[in-house]
Amino acid sequence: MQQAGFRPRDLTRFAQRITGQVRDHIIGLARQHGVEIEMVVRKNLRQEDRIAEILRTRDTHAGLVHIFTAKESAMVYDTRHARADGYAQIITRRGACIHYYLYWIHPRLGLIHVRVPTWFPLHLQVNFNGHNWLARKLDAAAISYQMADHAFSQCADWRGAQALADQMDLRQLHAQLKELTQQCCPATAQFPNGYHGCLTQVEYAHDLVFKEAARMDALFAERARQALLAIKVEDVARFLGKRLPLSYETQVNSHLGRRHAGFPLKHSFGPASVTLYNRPGGILRLDRGFNPFLEEDERVLQIVLSGEHALVGLTARKLRRVLHPGSRGRISRLLKRLRLHGLLRKVGKTNTHHFTSLARRVVTAVLHLKNNVMVPELAAASAG
């Protein structure tokens, strides 16, 4: 503002100029790509359904698909204690402004949308699904697959697909997101520092794909009801790496509901949650946690049971040797997951970890259920 000749009390005049630039640029994008800007007036409008309707008649070539606009709440910049001499305090407060949702088919990320506010601090949000990104990779590698919603129901090479998924590079992703910000909100180019990028919400999911969807649905419905009855508040907190007693503000919930595709079973502790649900195409999905049906996760659970590290403890270097070729960052995240789930405890200010007694009880039970209960049941169901 100072470089442009504005004083702090002139925030409104300065911001209105930028707001006009953002609005005019998005209107220009809509005209350039031949798409309309749709005002959202109904609270129950699902933008994804509207986009799916448009994509049924539109080619899947890269480019802008559609734009929504709505007035929504946001953290905004404002002034207070403004004086005639130009002094004012610039603060953040809860407010509202016009937002644009730009849906794109990105050549590398697939279907995404960018949420662009029209008031400072112009907090952009880019939402994309990693399955769409992986689908682009599978196309390039000539690996055939089928998708059901945002999940893979069939794949000619599951191991190859996982190897491609492991290649996601956050530095490349950052460069792609930076390119999107310049494309959707070029007005920010006049700010020397540019945007600070961060991951605000990340969901990790494990999908178990069944050959027969009907058998999976029946099996899951029975298991989900039993889990709802058997799991207690303490179990939810412990699984998510939390401890009791809880403050009166923290909510711990277990919920089994209905969704358009089946039953979602969700355990939550404040903002953290773990969800198990079935999807169309015979897919059982788990968000967060460890999946004993995934080879790498089973290897980690086997390490918990081994007595090799019982006395001297486990370090990142040792774990990297066992799980070669795991990167440093990947091993650090794995150790954090083990700590969050209460399976590891760190020794003082050292880099050594010891497995907890809970870890051995829980992991023994999980692997027993997998190898001696679920696998035989699934094999018998498949044979029948």
331-340 tens-digit pLDDT: 887 787 787 7
The percent of residues above 70 in pLDDT, for the chain, comes to 84
CATH number at residue 222: 3.30.160
**pLDDT tens profile 250-270:** 676 766 666 545 566 776 766
Residues 331 and 235 in one domain: no
Better pLDDT: 29 or 168: 29
Q: How far apart are CA 133 and CA 147, in angstroms?
A: 13
Structural domain that includes position 237: 203-289
Length of the chain: 384
- Count the domains in the chain: 3
pLDDT at 263: 61
326 and 357: one domain? yes
Q: In this structure, are residues 181 and 124 in contact, taking their beta carbons and an 8 Å threshold?
A: yes
59 near 53, Cβ under 8 Å?
A: no
What is the C-alpha separation between 151 and 132, in angstroms, rounded?
Answer: 9
* Residue 249 maps to a domain: yes
How far apart, in whole angstroms, are the C-alpha atoms of residue 378 and residue 130? Answer: 29
Statement to judge: residues 277 and 303 lie in one domain: no
The answer to the question of residue 52 being in a domain is: yes
Asked if residue 197 is part of any domain, the answer here is no
Structure tokens at 380: 């018998």
Residues 116 and 27 in one domain: yes
Check whether residue 50 and residue 184 sit in a common domain: yes
Q: How confident is the model at residue 245 (pLDDT cuts 50, 70, 90)?
A: low
Q: What is the mean pLDDT of residues 332-361?
A: 80
Domain boundary among 253, 271, 289: 289
Q: What is the CA radius of gyration of the chain?
A: 25
26 and 47 within one domain: yes
E strand residue ranges, the chain: 37-39, 63-80, 89-106, 110-117, 125-128, 145-147, 152-155, 205-209, 252-256, 264-269, 272-279, 283-287, 344-346, 353-355
Average model confidence (pLDDT) across the chain: 82
Q: Cα dihedral angle (366, 368, 371, 373), rounded to 10 degrees?
A: -100
Top-confidence residue, 87 or 225: 87
Final residue before a domain boundary, out of 289, 313, 332: 289
Burial, 275: exposed, middle or buried (Cβ in 10 Å; 0-12, 13-18, 19+)?
middle
**Top-confidence residue, 177 or 274:** 177
Q: In whole angstroms, give the CA distance from residue 57 to residue 7.
A: 50
Instruction: Judge if 285 and 351 occupy the same domain.
Output: no
Pairwise CA distance, residues 254 & 231, whole Å: 8
User: Is 158 part of any domain?
Assistant: no
Please report, for the domain that includes residue 295, its CATH number.
1.10.10.10
Lowest mean pLDDT among 82-96, 190-204, 214-228, 332-346: 214-228
Give the whole-angstrom CA distance, residue 165 versus residue 131.
9
CA dihedral (71, 73, 74, 75) in degrees, to 10, reads 130
The two structure tokens encoding residue 178? 């930076």
For residue 121, say if its preceding peptide bond is cis, omega within 30 degrees of 0.
yes
Average pLDDT (175-185) is 90
pLDDT (mean) for 143-169 = 89
Residue-level pLDDT at 260: 47
- Res 141: pLDDT: 94
Top-confidence residue, 277 or 361: 361
Instruction: Give the confidence band of 214 by pLDDT, cuts at 50, 70, 90.
Output: confident
Is residue 146 situated within a structural domain? no
Residue 381 pLDDT: 65
User: pLDDT band for position 114 (50/70/90)?
Assistant: very high
Mean pLDDT, residues 202-225? 76
Asked whether residue 138 is assigned to any structural domain, the reply reads no
Ranked by mean pLDDT, which of 113-127, 148-162, 224-238, 356-370 comes out on top?
Answer: 113-127
Mark whether 185 and 66 lie in a shared domain.
yes
pLDDT digits (tens, 9 = 90+) for 66-108: 999 999 999 999 998 888 777 889 999 999 999 999 999 999 9
Residues 297 and 300: their CA atoms lie apart, in Å, by 5
Same domain (yes/no): 311, 255:
no
Torsion region of 14: left, alpha or beta (phi above 0 gives left; psi -120 to 50 gives alpha) = alpha
pLDDT for 9 beyond 60? yes
**Same domain membership, residue 113 and residue 57:** yes
Last residue of a domain, one of 190, 219, 236: 190
In a domain, 307, yes or no: yes
109 and 244: one domain?
A: no
Nearest alpha-carbon partner for 263 in 305, 219, 312, 325: 219
Tell whether 284 and 303 lie within a shared domain.
no
Q: Kindly state whether residue 281 falls inside one of the protein's structural domains.
A: yes
